[in-house]
Amino acid sequence: MSQKPPTFRLGLLCGLALLSSLPALAQHDSYPSKPITLVVGYPPGGSTDLTGRTLGFELSKRLGVPVVIENIGGAGGVIGAQKVANAAPDGYTLLAGVNNEIAISRLVSSAVKYQLKDFTPIGLIASQPMVLVASHKSGVKNIDQFISLVKGNPGKYSYGSSGVGTALHLAGEMVKDQGGLFMTHIPYRGVAPLANDLLGSNIDFGMFVLSSGLPHIKSGRVVAVGTTEAKRSAVTPDIPALAENAKLKGLDINVWFALMGPANLPEPVLAKLKKALSESLQAPDLRKKLEESGSAIAPLNVDMAKFLKDETVKYQRIVDFAKIKE
């Protein structure tokens, strides 16, 4: 029996390879064909939950399928992020995450098992500055008074955050580093108990995400010392940026929200998600709701690889300064 020529065999193999790839191609072309789960690593009601729900509504309209929010609270967002890192890379399990669980937690805790490489960055959603506030008992009304009081009394004063290794904790340590200040950090189990102690003047200073601190600032029950980004927030132009003071001019840190998927999302799926995210961020309803909450909408087409690398370098330096490691 005569053998088939090499060109025939090569053509047959190529044809079989193409046929075997057709189901996968068809699957990606039909994406999405069922509901998408958008994981939020915190309980309902916080800034991350608001951001995730607002984005999920817009994504659903553009992708044509329900986007179901799944709140998985615990470990500062880590439990929810771990679920997404472990999920199948098919685009049906995504994370509306914040820098705490995406970029910070793994630097401060050996219990966190995932790395950045375990996610596919889809894009930034928004960001918020944090705000340093003072209790009325402290007598502080502005940045100069804050620096003078704390610098003149090393170790006497304390500041609170929502927990060890959170963005709020790192922001407080960055203030200490930049200003050459010595304050004791008091970690709380969330923002509510911190707010209660500040309102009762049981602690001197506190670091809040802007949206969480604003109600207390507007009510006059605490004093806004300054925000933590390099420039004033458009939401609160009357509150100075801490970096306006020469002793804190290098201070620039915020809370950012990002849409992430598991590692190795197929390119066609990633492209559809990026397009839907870009369109969602331009939706007037989303912009209005997030801006009213204190967020600034992220610029389009951010180089996520560079952004995450730069942020990690910044956080690592603060973690090393403060010797934060669990």
CA separation for the pair 246, 256 (Å, rounded): 25
Q: Is 107 in contact with 316 (CB distance < 8 Å)?
A: yes
Q: How far out from the chain centre does Cα 315 lie?
A: 13
Q: What six digits make up the tokens of 51? A: 């951001």
**CA of 243: how far to CAs of 127, 132, 179, 185, 260, in Å?**
18, 12, 10, 21, 31
Q: At what angle do helices 47-63 and 210-218 cross, to 10 degrees?
A: 120
Task: Tell me what pLDDT residue 22 has.
Answer: 47
Task: Tell me what pLDDT residue 229 has.
Answer: 96
Beta strands in 49-178 (DSSP E): 67-71, 93-98, 119-134, 158-161
H/E stretch holding 63: helix 47-63
What structural domains does the chain harbor?
34-128+255-322 (3.40.190.150), 129-248 (3.40.190.10)
Task: Tell me what pLDDT residue 18 has.
Answer: 54
CA separation for the pair 296, 90 (Å, rounded): 30
SS3 260: strand
What phi and psi values does residue 283 have, to the nearest 5 degrees?
-70, 130
What phi and psi values does residue 130 have, to the nearest 5 degrees?
-100, 165
Query: What residue ranges of the chain have pLDDT lower than 70?
Result: 1-28
Task: Tell me what pLDDT residue 212 has.
Answer: 87
Q: At what angle do helices 210-218 and 191-199 cross, to 10 degrees?
A: 30
Q: Is 98 in contact with 77 (CB distance < 8 Å)?
A: yes
Task: Tell me what pLDDT residue 222 has.
Answer: 96
| Alpha carbons within 13 A on the beta-carbon side of 255 | 28
